């Protein structure tokens, strides 16, 4: 029987609380299914800065390189906000993405019918929304050189460089076509090719690859227009593929229209490694209070089971258990509405484990 080795990086803020919940769910699922999971912990983010002097210590990276997948909580908090960019907790995230070559970031945006009233959009607009943003994660203006603050003619100038090689574009575009094939077969590619040469190249590559995926319908949108269409017709999207900076922005927009940021998982995939984490951040304001919503992290483990371990049945079990728990009316404060059962992190986790036990036999 295979043993799946998971590197666990709990991080800061609510990170440890939500990751602990996810581990409890995974352990129970392991018992039910006979699959073994092994967890080993490493430090990342602010806690790593405090204990080791850097946001991504070498030993954490080595742990991740040896593991079959990485589960991450969240990094950052006010305590470290005044450090220079190169020493902040977020730098640990950027370093691990690059070191594991996690070039495709999958961020599903799904409106859950029991939570539809939490969407800031009108119900009739939000209903049925179920798309996934695939954001390139290891290139673009995030990593391009030159970068920095320099002096020109006695004045400071800030410089970052938007840069993509065709290979970098092609691999993420291919990944997006493949994901689209398994879904509703519609791909929206987002760029700013009316202004940027980098985007012109991006669009060319999408057009070239389109020929290899004749079953997928392709739409190109400029990023500003896409930002608008996401709030006007969100249910018309299936897969959106875009570069790092546009994807950063659009994926937050996509997350908020679902009304349930605390519910959204993500996967960051490369050829050899994969990392799974909730879309939400470390939420320092509620850390330690026992009220954080663990669902995004629990659903991130479902993505891990699906994309890294090919355990579709187990992934489904987790997703179904979450839906059943919502149907039963359990809500953490962030998704609470009147008439529902308000619970904290631990009780939500218990409720999901109960649902998992109920549905497992029938799957
Ligand atoms: C994200 C975050 C990060 C990013 C920050 C924290 C560096 O906003 O994961 O979307 O910009 O990639
Ligand atoms: Mg972001």
CA separation for the pair 203, 306 (Å, rounded): 30
The pLDDT value given to residue 260? 81
CA separation for the pair 107, 278 (Å, rounded): 9
Question: Whose C-alpha lies nearest to ligand 1, atom 10?
Answer: 248
Q: Which residues contact 154 (CB under 8 A, 6 or more apart)?
A: none
**Count of CB atoms situated within 10 Å of the CB of 195:** 11
CA separation for the pair 76, 59 (Å, rounded): 20
Q: Catalytic site residue 192?
A: yes
**Ligand 1 lining (C-beta closer than 6 Å):** 90, 93-94, 248
Q: Catalytic site residue 350?
A: no
CA angle in degrees (0–180, nearest 5) for 227-230-236:
140
Q: From the CA of 76, give the closest atom in ligand 1.
A: 6
Q: Catalytic site residue 248?
A: yes
Q: Catalytic site residue 68?
A: no
226-244 pLDDT tens trace: 999 999 999 999 999 999 9
- In order along its 363 residues, the chain shows pLDDT tens digits of 689 999 999 999 999 999 999 999 999 999 999 999 999 999 999 999 999 999 999 999 999 999 999 999 999 999 999 998 888 999 999 999 999 999 999 999 999 888 998 899 999 999 999 999 999 999 999 999 999 999 999 999 999 999 999 999 999 999 999 999 989 999 999 999 999 999 999 999 999 999 999 999 999 999 999 999 999 999 999 999 999 999 999 999 999 999 888 999 999 999 999 999 999 999 999 999 999 999 999 999 999 999 999 999 999 999 999 999 999 999 999 999 899 999 999 999 999 999 999 999 888
Per-residue b/e over 130-154, b at no fewer than 16 CB within 10 Å? bbbbbbbbbbbbbbbeeeeeeeeee
CA of 252 to the centre of ligand 2 (A): 6
Identified catalytic residue from 81, 224, 285, 313:
224
Identified catalytic residue from 68, 101, 130, 252:
252
- For residue 85, give Cα distances in angstroms to 89, 92, 148: 9, 11, 11
- Structure tokens belonging to residue 34: 């006979």
CA of 338 to the centre of ligand 2 (A): 31
What pTM does this model have? 0.92
Q: Catalytic site residue 252?
A: yes
Contact 9, 52 (CB under 8 A): no
Q: Which of 93, 136, 261, 277 to mutate to test the pocket of ligand 1 (most atoms within 8 A of CB)?
A: 93
CA of 248 to the centre of ligand 2 (A): 4
- Structure tokens belonging to residue 62: 């080595």
Question: Whose C-alpha lies nearest to ligand 1, atom 7?
Answer: 90
């Amino acid at each position: 029987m295979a043993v799946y080795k998971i590197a666990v990086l709990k991080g800061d803020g609510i990170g440890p609380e939500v990751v602990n919940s996810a581990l409890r769910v995974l352990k129970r699922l392991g018992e039910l299914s006979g699959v073994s999971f092994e967890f080993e912990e490493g430090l990342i983010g602010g806690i790593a800065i405090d204990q080791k002097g850097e946001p991504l210590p070498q030993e954490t990276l080595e742990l991740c390189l040896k593991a079959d997948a990485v589960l991450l909580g969240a990094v950052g908090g006010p305590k470290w906000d005044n450090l220079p960019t190169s020493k902040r907790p977020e730098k640990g995230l950027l370093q691990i993405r690059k070191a594991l070559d996690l070039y495709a970031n999958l961020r599903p945006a799904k409106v859950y019918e029991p939570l539809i009233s939490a969407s800031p959009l009108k119900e009739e607009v939000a209903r049925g929304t179920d798309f996934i943003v695939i954001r390139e994660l290891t290139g673009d203006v995030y990593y391009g050189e030159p970068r920095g603050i320099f002096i020109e003619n006695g004045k400071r100038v800030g410089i970052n460089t938007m840069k993509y090689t065709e290979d970098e574009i092609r691999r993420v575009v291919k990944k997006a076509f493949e994901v689209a094939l398994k879904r509703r077969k519609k791909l929206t590619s987002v760029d700013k090719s009316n202004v940027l040469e980098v985007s012109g190249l991006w669009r060319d590559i999408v057009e070239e690859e389109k020929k290899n995926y004749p079953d997928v319908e392709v739409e190109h949108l400029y990023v500003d227009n896409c930002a608008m269409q996401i709030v006007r017709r969100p249910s018309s999207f299936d897969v959106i593929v875009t570069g790092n900076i546009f994807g950063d922005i659009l994926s937050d927009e996509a997350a908020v229209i679902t009304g349930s940021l605390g519910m959204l998982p993500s996967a960051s995939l490369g050829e050899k490694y994969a990392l799974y984490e909730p879309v939400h951040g470390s939420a320092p304001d509620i850390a330690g209070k026992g009220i954080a919503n663990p669902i995004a992290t629990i659903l991130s483990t479902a993505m891990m089971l699906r994309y890294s371990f090919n355990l579709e049945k187990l992934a489904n079990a987790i997703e179904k258990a979450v839906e059943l728990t919502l149907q039963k009316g359990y809500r953490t404060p962030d998704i609470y509405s009147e008439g529902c059962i308000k619970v904290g992190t631990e009780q939500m986790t218990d409720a999901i484990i109960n649902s998992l036990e109920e549905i497992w036999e029938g799957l």
